[in-house]
Structure 1
Amino acid sequence: MNVTDIFLKIDNISVHGYNQLLFENLSLTIQKGESWAFVGASGSGKSALLQTIAGKLNITNGTIRYGFWDKYIRSHPEESHITFHQLITLLESKHHFKNLSNTTDFYYQQRFNSSDSEDAPTVTEYLQDIRPLKGRERFTTDQAISLLNLQPLLHKKLIMLSNGETKRLRIASALIKSPALMLMDNPLAGLDVNTRHEFNNIIGTITETGISVIITAAPNEIPPAITHVAVLKDGAIIETCTRESFDAGKYNFHTSTAIDGNAIAALAKQTEAPPYEYIVNMHNVNIKYGNNQVLKNVNWQIKPGEHWALLGPNGAGKSTLLSLINGDNPQAYANDIVLFDKKRGSGESIWDIKKLIGYVSPEFYQYFPADNSCLQVVESGYYDTLGLFRPSNPAYQQKAMQWMKVLEIDQYARTLLKNIPASAQRLCLLARALVKNPPLLIFDEPCQGLDSHQQENFKSIVEQICLNTPVTLIYVTHYQHEIPDSVDKVLRLEKGEVVS
């Protein structure tokens, strides 16, 4: 091995984080020109390894040698103050966008409030502020915009972007910085079918410019442009190989789910069917932000006990449509919308609506405060608050714990939400949506970030709830296999219009 070809060398490192040992004596060598995928079950250490490489976690033993940094400093001695951090971009599961005032982060409902959303920069303004390091100009802003197909989004406020559009923007912004190394945590999550297909070409274009890429991915979703795979288990690398020799079927991380249907039925039990003619009744709904029409003449009637899939590509208007049902969008008052047999604007409060709905989405996950314990987060579902701000109710806490056990996250009950794996965080929010037995469940990409076992377990739970209770379900996903079998109705959106 030519030492000058070493791009990154991890040598017997030990890493502590969140009061636990994350890695012990872990080693990995990456050569110049290689791009890697880290795969493994939830909690195996994939995201933590990306954070370690990016310098976000403390190494207590061993070393990491950044060969690309050594090379940059040799080539640019006048830039000796540059640290390796500045040659790395890390795209984690959550973004950290700022308002134009640069004083506060975005908050969940900001996108739906026109006066507050004006404080967010546009895509163009955001990209224009990014500067690469001297000598690292690999992508111009125009090239990044073209590669990620951002032209239709340039006028949009950041807060108005869909989950998938935000993902594309973040990749583009990383490219403009032209790092030596791009770290991407589950970059395919939230992307629609077409964008997932295009992602391999995007990876190929990136690597052709000399930028190395390391991603985390599901075993069956590794782009062909990736050259090598490392399999993690319990904080250790148990196999490394080329992508061509990687056997995805060997590592599907699926263990059988033994769902107790009676236990689920007892937890989700409702005394009687919801006394409504319509859960949702919309007529010719139109939503505009400035000159941008997000929804156009949408009609949708949902009766109690129906199970719907809401489908469409990134930016089709799905999240905006759901915001009208969940009580988050004030434009509901200017439209003909009936929820639970009450016309919007007839005196009901946002809390009257929310108490009837269990809701989770990528945006909700993005903005949910993480300083409560996981058990407190789940119990907060009874009050529809973003965290628990009152003394715990023993009966509520007991049921919250039961749901956590069903979702296999009870071991995190006393741990702060921010200190557990992202997949477990998402499952906490799913438990929070289920805990009060609402008549309507809205699951917007609920399996995003979950491994195959967690996906199957959750799908089985939803199936049992649908079979044993009169619940109404709206389910959003970009993956056909995630849709529960009980779903038998579909609304498909494209560019804000109903197409089926």
Structure 2
Amino acid sequence: MIRIFTAMNTPLITLNDINVRLLNNNLFENLSLIIGKGQNWAITGKSGSGKSVLLQVIAGNTAVNGGSIDYHFISDINQQQITNLTTFHRFIAFAGAKHHFKTLSNTSDLYYQQRFNSSDSEDALTVLEYLQAVKVNTHIEPYWTIEKILPALKLNDLADKQIIKLSNGETKRLMIAAALIKNPVVLLLDNPLTGLDVQMRAYFNNLLSQIASSGIQIIMATSALEIPDTITNVAVLEEGELQTFTATEFKAGKHVLEAKPVINAEGLKALFTASDANNVYNDIVSMANVHIRYGDKLVLNNINWNIKQGERWALLGHNGAGKSTLLSLINGDNPQAYANNIVLFDKKRGSGESIWDIKSKIGFVSPELYQYFPTDNSCLQVIESGFYDTLGLFRPSSKARAELALEWMKALEIEKYARQLLKNIPASAQRLCLLARALIKNPALLIFDEPCQGLDDHQQQHFKSVVDTICSISNVTLIYVTHYQHEIPDSVTKVLKLEKGEVV
């Protein structure tokens, strides 16, 4: 039995010997934790350790199979004679790793390429409309109003923008804003810094302090390397057990990036045989004076970019700088490519090539692809679908290609999930499956848009080494997007930086 006590005498939430069983696996057994009033907690640990599940348990979204959870703050609220009190759910707000945006009619989910299709992209709420639709708690006079939240989350300039058009980092800020506007007693955040650029991460550190000062207690899952200043206590999950520290104790410990893993170069070379990367192209990408506009908004302005075969580029820029739009022109997802001077794989766009011709030469992964990718296939099927550039496998599996998918899973250390459904494995393993999907057809061009989101230190270092090894044994071309300098592979030698839609 694991019994954890804190220094605080007055509890806010107590987990009493809880058991959580998922897919016939005991994730937590007899796990106990007391979260005291005035404490803000960070939950950290390796990928797959159960950080997100523990947040869902506290939120009441995942049931416990044994033990109990006490929400002591409900008694305080009852003492204030609140009427029409239902359950603790009203007083807990959760901002998760994925959004669930709907169309204007609220009848269907938004889809992956919708943001780039001008007519369909209008079938979505604006940022302001989305926040106005959030049900606000009335148990207290709200401190966090829309008028206060828009500037606090730097959403003022995005208020009239359709939510489908937001960048990954902008979407993250909107989800946090929607949780905050409920004025909860407890705010649960699942990796809130993921997808935010350097400046926004620093700003968000201060914002969390403001949120805590307003009387809201924070419980967040995060990397051990990113513990905000307002955090008072840290819980470390490992193999179903919990260790707790004060934030001062934790930060004084040794929490550093792992050493660079040793990669089986010969094994990767065998996987990368018959690679399209070894076909000869003059220009992988050539853009001349590219402009992209949505209504009155100029998203990309006068972009000139030439990528030769075998070059390895980092594409950098703040949230909303235009990186995703630029990549959509290369990956065949943006119809405005036809109205611009763009050459891909030595062929001008609009000269007769199909989108599928382009996609067949590209291995692609992005936060948006992860957000919208269907999860009802097995992991092997998801990876095999990379051969066909479909969001899932819609044909009978090929034995040879399924075996190759398994070899890629081994290369990325996720083979134990091979026959599990994508939706039933940890988020980090889901992301690695999509990375394997991008690699499996050995394309001429790899586009990795924030590929290390959600990966722990070991997974990040391992994947980075896999990328560098592939670059060393082939003529593959690489475009790599990240907000973290340490994630950029050593093989990257060129940089394109965007600021407000222009090259700087």
Compute the TM-score of the two structures, normalised by the length of structure 2. 0.96
Task: For residues 230-254 of structure 1, give each alpha carbon's deviation from its aligned partner in whole angstroms, at most 9, with x where no partner exists.
Answer: 01001210x2111011146544584
Cα drift, residue 79 of structure 1: 2.1
Change (3 A) 1:310 1:248: farther
Root mean square deviation, CA, Å: 1.5
Report whether the alignment pairs 1:466 with 2:452. no
Amino acid at match of 1:87: F
Change (3 A) 1:265 1:2: closer
2:418 matched residue in structure 1? 413
Which aligned pairs between 1:230-379 and structure 2 lie closer than 5 A?
230-237=235-242, 239-247=243-251, 249-252=253-256, 254=258, 257-270=261-274, 273-379=278-384
Change (3 A) 1:25 1:251: farther
Report whether the alignment pairs 1:216 with 2:221. yes
Equivalent residue of 1:279, what SS? strand
Equivalent residue of 1:59, what SS? coil
Contact kept, 8 Å, 2:8 with 2:36, in 1: the verdict is: no
Cα drift, residue 89 of structure 1: 1.4
159-168 or 260-269, larger mean C-alpha shift = 260-269
1:89 matched residue in structure 2? 93
2:106 matched residue in structure 1? 102
Cα drift, residue 4 of structure 1: 8.2
Amino acid at match of 1:267: L
Task: For residues 19-63 of structure 1, give each alpha carbon's deviation from its aligned partner in whole angstroms, at most 9, with x where no partner exists.
Answer: 311110000001111100001001111111001111111111111
Change (3 A) 1:457 1:249: farther
Contact kept, 8 Å, 1:219 with 1:248, in 2: the verdict is: no
1:402 matched residue in structure 2? 407
Change (3 A) 1:480 1:3: closer
Amino acid at match of 1:424: A
Structure 1 gap ranges (5+): none
Contact kept, 8 Å, 2:9 with 2:36, in 1: the verdict is: no
Report whether the alignment pairs 1:182 with 2:201. no
Distance in 1, matches of 2:197 and 2:259, equals: 27
Contact kept, 8 Å, 2:128 with 2:160, in 1: the verdict is: yes
Equivalent residue of 1:245, what SS? helix
Distance in 2, matches of 1:249 and 1:497, equals: 42
Amino acid at match of 1:425: Q
Contact kept, 8 Å, 1:40 with 1:251, in 2: the verdict is: no
Please point out which of 228, 233, 244 is paired with 1:228. 233
Structure 2 gap ranges (5+): 1-5
1:475 matched residue in structure 2? 480
Distance in 1, matches of 2:465 and 2:357, equals: 30
Contact kept, 8 Å, 1:253 with 1:451, in 2: the verdict is: no
Compute the TM-score of the two structures, normalised by the length of structure 1. 0.97
Contact kept, 8 Å, 1:377 with 1:429, in 2: the verdict is: yes
Task: For residues 81-108 of structure 1, give each alpha carbon's deviation from its aligned partner in whole angstroms, at most 9, with x where no partner exists.
Answer: x211121111111111111110011110
Contact kept, 8 Å, 1:269 with 1:469, in 2: the verdict is: no
Amino acid at match of 2:447: I
Distance in 1, matches of 2:493 and 2:34, equals: 49
Equivalent residue of 1:437, what SS? coil
Report whether the alignment pairs 1:172 with 2:167. no
Distance in 2, matches of 1:4 and 1:250, equals: 29
- After superposing on structure 2, the runs of 4+ consecutive aligned residues of structure 1 that deviate more than 4 Å are 1-4
Aligned pair count? 497
Equivalent residue of 1:301, what SS? strand
Contact kept, 8 Å, 2:49 with 2:237, in 1: the verdict is: yes
Cα drift, residue 131 of structure 1: 3.3
Cα drift, residue 76 of structure 1: 3.4
Report whether the alignment pairs 1:128 with 2:128. no
Cα drift, residue 155 of structure 1: 1.5
